[in-house]
Structure 1
Amino acid sequence: MSETTDIAIEYRDVTKAYGEKTVLSHFDLRVQKGEFLTIVGSSGCGKTTALKMVNRLIEPTSGDVLVGGRNVRDVDAIELRRSIGYAIQGSVLFPHMTVEENVSYVPNLLNRRDRARTERAVSKWMDIVGLPQDMLDRYPAELSGGQQQRVGIARALAASPDTLLMDEPFGAVDEITRGQLQTEIARIHRECGITIMFVTHDIGEALRLGTRVLVLDAGRIQQYGTPQEILARPATEFVERLVARQRHACDLSDERLCACEHSGAARAEAALLAQGADKGE
């Protein structure tokens, strides 16, 4: 398989400016299929801007964004958004719709004549995000914050997209629920192999979840690598400061981090080993 066909999302010399303020500057990045990319950096560094360019909620001032090898400028925006899962902080469910109606919203648009297919999709993703089927008739106001966030993730995944965009999705829940949701999204990624781009302000969350971590500051890439590389070999002073506290908080040495079950590096290494086994290497 060629290198190009393994690329899920690509940014080519992308710049985004609002008047005299440049949010992203000459941004180049390739995200491999099946990657769990976490994006972290200071407030206003361009991480959410980069994310929203993928589904055309924000258009670049210059440069190109490609999804599945197609320039997003050449794809109808509504069609594009229906093919990409999108989950944000607080889940933002439709309050007047039941859980079932929320989760089935996009599948119903795509499969108007195949109700059975939509019902199967809803049931499948409710199971995957860890919600009981008897919750389908409830309304968002009847759910806890963690349950609402799970429904939001199920809704984002219900059309079985190849890519899931997540913008600070766990920022509005308590720490215990946040930890549970982190475990759930890591499991979903492991089981489904979907490409995930996940924006967070929390370096600990970025290192725990990401198979690769992108560190941004002032619209420029500071480092792009595995969690182990970010911790063990910070590329700039900014990255060094960002990870200093996290390094002290981790009981494992930098060399052993990739063996940690909570680290994306461990999942990345396991995936590489599995690929090698499949090829008989």
Structure 2
Amino acid sequence: MVLVKEITAGSTIAVRGLDLQLFWQLNQLAPNSLVTIADLNINKGDGLFPYCQLPARNALKSVLTAYGKPLTINSAYRSVIAQAMLYSQKQRGLIDNLVGYPGKSDHQKGASLDIEEWPEVRTLMTSHGWRWTYGNKDAMHFDCTSDDIRDIRPDSIKAFQKLWNKANPNNQIAEDGDLGEQTLKCIYNSPSEGFSNVGYPRVLKLTTPSQQGKDVGELQLALRKAGIPLEQANQVFDQETDKAVKAFQESKGLSADGVVGQQTRTLLELN
């Protein structure tokens, strides 16, 4: 299990498992706050979580129609968890990017985009409802100017607080939507792959120390049911389980990376 505070890789994909659990919790608290942009004519940058608010999606779609070519989106919605991870790395000197304080970042509104081709499309973006907010200090960053954009950052923080309380019944925190010192400390001490006991699936994979829990046991039983040799269902994601997952993924024509994400879960009927 790798905690958020222990991550040294700069990409927010390192917390994607926990991010997905927060996303599901946010949808319980404030349904339809975010919509996907994955179906638009975009190239997805490393670590992109392809969601934003609906007005931002519409403004992006307008730009894409006028541009006539794909745009590379490096960042869209960024959760308070991902922002805290980046801010911690900035504080430790691991990255030198412009990083806002967790809970204050524009990206957490789901109304900001980082666009690789910004020199080509800056004028086009600003004429289709976007602001080039920070100039050359953060040149690829654009903010949607629609009056219909809602500040969902408190909802996202409250969603994390609810998620933490589900996973830690003996260590409860206030569910007030305020990113105080206690909530930030809990974010840093959360497992990057997600909690094993909250009812929302986490991303399962081989880690050091190994992931353990009922969800790992259910994965092992599903692999057996699918005809993949596995000696024991011991609720520990060990080397044998990793080998079995890769064998299953290969048999289904998937990338055999050993990571049990949504597609692998669906094919194993784990949903």
Larger relative CO (CA 8 A, sep 6+): 1 or 2? 1
Determine which structure has the larger strand proportion and give its number: 1
